[in-house]
Amino acid sequence: MVGPGPRFRAARLIVVAVFAMSCGGAAAMPATPSKSTPTPTIAAAILPSPSISIPSPSSCTSANGLPDRLCTPGATNPDVTQATISNTVCVTGYAAQIRPAATYTNSLKVDHMRAYGYADQAPGDFEEDHLIALELGGDPRDPKNLWPERLTGGSGALQKDRVEKWAHDEVCAGRMPLADAQQRMATNWVELYNAMLAAIATPKLTIAPVVVASAAPTIATSASPATTSPTPLPALSVSISASRYGLVSASTLAGASCNAQAKLPSGSMSSAQGLIPTKIAIGSGAVSWSYTTVSRTTPGTGTHTVTCTFGGITRNATAPFTVP
């Protein structure tokens, strides 16, 4: 049998070469660029950084309203400095813009409650609070700047909210350096709260007008003893805004600790359950009590008394109510 001729062999070699080139060209072609990573969604953005660990259960302790210094040392926002406060914390609405989503803080609160030994308590009794407030340049998302703070009590979230606002106003008015406010808040916010109370109670210095002496001769008289103006009391007052059998509402200074009593027409004091708890006035200064009533109460006029204490100062107010 005669083998393929030269032309046939040449053609076959060309076909093989072309096939090899096509395979090599395909291998050498650059890979199709991958699509760029999409912007994280809100749900992804709220996840804590995997590099940050939560303290182990019951490894943290809180005393007198203060967090554990090792578990919650506080953390600041690098975007907020003394040079940038006019464009950050001192701008109305700044804190609301950077506040993390509730889904993030609520999840973190559960983890932190375990770490602080509160796993058997109701999450609704706590607020996952920033140790260094956002209004003072605290980091919004760092777990080291967040801890489960009790809402009520002598040193709870309501008192801390008040000192945060005061310190923010002091910083933005130039009366307190930002770094000082941050350090004092992180170290012991209760001491800063007491400093606020002292500042509020301190009377403001007033300067008497200058009196120009008359050119006319004067008769010397014995010097009268110097009189000292009375020191003004803190701006604590109590006024009852609503008074009826079963309800009493009052207005006072935000953060004040208040109690209510109801003297019945018979002259005895009501022991209704709703009157027992001490309540803290909210940010607007409002405080109220609702209590149970009974139909056999002697008809006539009774008296509500609301007593509030703030910074060692106590004030009260009374108002009548009618038992039909």
User: Looking at the domain assignment, is residue 274 inside a domain?
Assistant: yes
Widest distance between CA atoms in the chain? 156
Listed in sequence order, the residues at least 6 apart from 160 whose beta carbon sits closer than 8 Å to its beta carbon are 65, 129, 149, 189, 193
Q: What residue has token string 């709260």?
A: 193
**Is residue 162 one of the residues assigned to a domain?**
yes
**Last residue within a domain, chosen from 200, 219, 248:** 200
| Single residue among 200, 217, 248 that ends a domain in this structure | 200
* Judgement on whether residues 185 and 310 belong to the same structural domain of the protein: no
pLDDT at 234: 53
SS3 136: helix
Would you state the pLDDT for residue 7?
55
Shared-domain flag, residues 59 and 175: yes
Same domain for 257 and 195, yes or no, is no
CA distances from 184 to 16, 58, 178, 190 (A): 81, 26, 10, 9
Same domain? For 77 and 196 the reply is: yes
136 lies in the same domain as 260: no
Whether residues 68 and 192 share a domain: the answer is yes
pLDDT value of position 108: 95
Distance of alpha carbon 139 from alpha carbon 99, whole angstroms: 9
Unique residue bearing structure tokens 């950050």:
88
The one-letter amino acid code at 308 reads C
Per-residue pLDDT averaged across 105-130, rounded? 93
Within a domain: 211: no
Residue the block writes with tokens 């690098």 = 78
Residue 98 has pLDDT above 50, yes or no: yes
Tell whether the model's pLDDT for residue 245 goes beyond 50: yes
- Of 118-132, 204-218, 246-260, where does the model show the most confidence? 118-132
Final residue of a structural domain among 149, 176, 200? 200
pLDDT of 14: 53
Is 303 part of any domain? yes
Q: How many domains does the chain have?
A: 2
What confidence tens digit (pLDDT) does each residue in 155-183 have? 788 888 889 999 999 999 999 999 999 99
Pairing of strands 239-244, 146-150: unpaired
20 belongs to a structural domain:
no
pLDDT at 206 over 80: no
pLDDT digits (tens, 9 = 90+) for 254-294: 888 888 999 999 999 988 877 877 888 877 778 888 888 88
CB 185 within 8 A of CB 136: yes
- Contact assessment for residue 98 and residue 138, using Cβ atoms and an 8 Å cutoff: no
Interval 110-138 mean pLDDT: 94
Are 99 and 164 contained in the same domain? yes
C-alpha–C-alpha distance, residues 110 and 161, integer Å: 21
Mean pLDDT of the chain: 79
The CATH number given to whatever domain includes residue 269 is 2.60.40
Do 145 and 87 lie in a common domain? yes
Given CA atoms 87, 89, 94, 100 in this order, what sign does their dihedral have? positive
187 and 61 within one domain: yes
Domain with 297 in it: 239-323
39 pLDDT band, cuts 50/70/90, is: very low
Mean pLDDT of 34-41: 38
Mean pLDDT of 296-303: 90
> In this predicted structure, which of 59-68, 72-81, 147-156, 206-215 has the lowest mean pLDDT?
206-215
Q: Are residues 63 and 153 in the same domain?
A: yes
Q: What is the pLDDT of residue 154?
A: 67
Q: Per the domain annotation, does 75 fall within a domain? A: yes
Neighbours of 163 (CB within 10 A): 23
pLDDT of residue 165: 93
9-24 pLDDT per residue, tens: 555 555 445 454 444 4
Is residue 244 domain-shared with residue 319, that is, in the same domain?
yes
| Domain co-membership, 246 together with 190 | no
Residue 34, pLDDT score: 44
Report the pLDDT value the prediction gives residue 253, as an integer from 0 to 100. 87
Q: Beta strand pairing status for 257-263 and 247-251?
A: unpaired
| Predicted local confidence at residue 197, as pLDDT | 83
The yes-or-no verdict on residue 77 having pLDDT over 80 is yes
Assess if residue 23 is contained within a domain.
Answer: no
Residue 91 clears pLDDT 90, i.e. is over it: yes
Higher pLDDT, 231 or 86: 86
Q: What is the pLDDT of residue 38?
A: 38
Share of the chain above pLDDT 90, in %: 42
Would residue 145 count as lying in a domain?
yes
